[in-house]
Structure 1
Amino acid sequence: MISHYDWSGGREAMLRFGPDTGPVVVAALPLFEEANRTRAFVVTILRALAERGIASALPDLPGTGESIVPTSEMTLMRLHEAYEAAVDTFDSQGRHCYGVSLRSGVLMDTLGLLYGRWYLAPQSGPELKRELTRIKRAELGREAKKLTEYWYYDNDLPEDAADPPVEIAGNLVPADLMTELSAALLYPKKNECLPRRTVRLETDPKPADLKISAAPLWRRAEPDNDSELAVLLADDIAAWVRQCEG
């Protein structure tokens, strides 16, 4: 069902699935175009979780989906605060929340009061920044050689003037967010006091708790879905949540 949550910036929409009691999976989509390509896939996972008796929620975070905040005003702090507020919706009811994040969605859950984190193909801030820069280079073609390390800042503006957002693949990305991404690293798993499970594609050489053979939906030109993979991942998430719950 379509619900909502409130945070300091206003009221945002939130899809909810599954029972009204027990643990809740709070999902976070990747940023920008990858969100459009994977939203249907994540919703399929959440519906499969509901069939397995696990509740879930997919909040629109500021600057994403149908948010009241435009993408051009997105900041990591706003994303963190809103995610925390979405989690608090359930925590205030005494329900344990578990983060399930895809790609750069892992950057959202910093402040959320979670009992565990489940990641699919996690992407750090610097990795996302490099990807956005690569896309911009492809858009510029020959002009790309003019891009410097901080190409998204306008050096011709007065010092006290705010830099305008830069357009990348049709998205207006705030210049300051690009800098924020440089320092947005994943919390080392060895220092994590909460359960964390990482799932990666077989083609990814980085360590993982589970490797799967699948196509990266986030790389496709158009939004797509993979119901078989969604069921496989829903089984994994459901088993992991139940294990965490004891």
Structure 2
Amino acid sequence: MLRFGPDTGPVVVVALPLFEEANRTRAFAVTILRALADRSIAGALPDLPGQGESLLPTHETDLAKLRAGFAAAVVSLNRPAFTLAIRSGALLDSDAAVTARYHLSPMTGADLRRELIRARQASARESGEAFDPASLDTATDPVELAGNLVGPTLLAQLSDATPSAERTRTVRLATEAKPADAKLPGTPLWRRAEPDNDLAFAQAVADDIAEWIATCAA
């Protein structure tokens, strides 16, 4: 777990997106946490089961393990906690004992599943490989999707997984059509082919989180 900021007061715990989007947004998340530390707000970035430096293979994780890992990370900090969940990371913080949740461009499990299938279809077309999306519904072994081995349990769970709406602030990019509590200008880093950063966007998110936490504490 990466730690930032003071040893007292509230802490913002990040839930990165699943799979490759975690790599694309990690530097961005760290920049946000450093900006919050400059505002005397602590931050933490845990590696969850099947993510980052976790010893659990990606294909052996599922939503229950990921949610339990995130909840355990929050408990271990032993202080008032808020979440910053990015994209599909918003599917992981529902079981955590937090004061409130901040979801940045959240997506449903069905949205993520569709994106994984589209990536696999594009790859199959390029290689001339046959791929039937319906085969995912009956898969009993891990399936390679967008460069990741995904277990059948997680695939099934994604079909109806949704972010928690309890004590949640939803923020999206200004270019997104979906409704939100606020919209900010920035770059959809999760769409980039390689990991990247957007310092102005990170600062804007940090400002919004700091103001939101002050409101929650009032």
Q: Give the gaps of 5 or more residues in structure 2.
A: none
1:25 to 12, 17, 25: 12
**More helix as a share of residues:** 2
Aligned residues: 217
Q: Structure 1 residues 49, 124: CA separation in 2 closer, same or farther (over 3 Å shift)? A: same
1:97-112 map, 5 Å? 97-112=81-96
The reply to whether residue 186 of structure 1 matches residue 170 of structure 2 is no
Cα drift, residue 215 of structure 1: 1.8
State the alpha-carbon separation in 2 of the partners of residues 73 and 32 from structure 1: 13
Specify the alignment match of 2:109 in structure 1: 125
Specify the alignment match of 2:190 in structure 1: 218
Q: Post-superposition, which runs of at least 4 consecutive aligned residues in structure 1 deviate over 3 A?
A: 142-146
Specify the alignment match of 1:45 in structure 2: 32
TM-score (norm 2): 0.95
CA deviations 1:82-139 (Å, max 9, x no partner) are: 1110010123xxx210011000000111110010000110011010000101111011
1:174 to 151, 170, 175: 151
> How well do the aligned residues superpose, as a CA RMSD in angstroms?
1.5
Q: Give the gaps of 5 or more residues in structure 1.
A: 1-13, 155-162
**SS, match of residue 236 in structure 1:** helix
Specify the alignment match of 2:132 in structure 1: 147
The reply to whether residue 205 of structure 1 matches residue 177 of structure 2 is yes
The residue identity in structure 2 corresponding to 1:169 is A
CA deviations 1:36-61 (Å, max 9, x no partner) are: 00000100000000000000100000
State the alpha-carbon separation in 2 of the partners of residues 27 and 84 from structure 1: 11
The reply to whether residue 55 of structure 1 matches residue 42 of structure 2 is yes
Partners of 1:138 and 1:144 within 8 A in 2: no
Cα drift, residue 201 of structure 1: 1.2
State the alpha-carbon separation in 1 of the partners of residues 41 and 16 from structure 2: 19
1:135 to 98, 119, 122: 119
State the alpha-carbon separation in 1 of the partners of residues 159 and 135 from structure 2: 11
Cα drift, residue 183 of structure 1: 1.5
State the alpha-carbon separation in 2 of the partners of residues 148 and 19 from structure 1: 48
TM-score (norm 1): 0.84
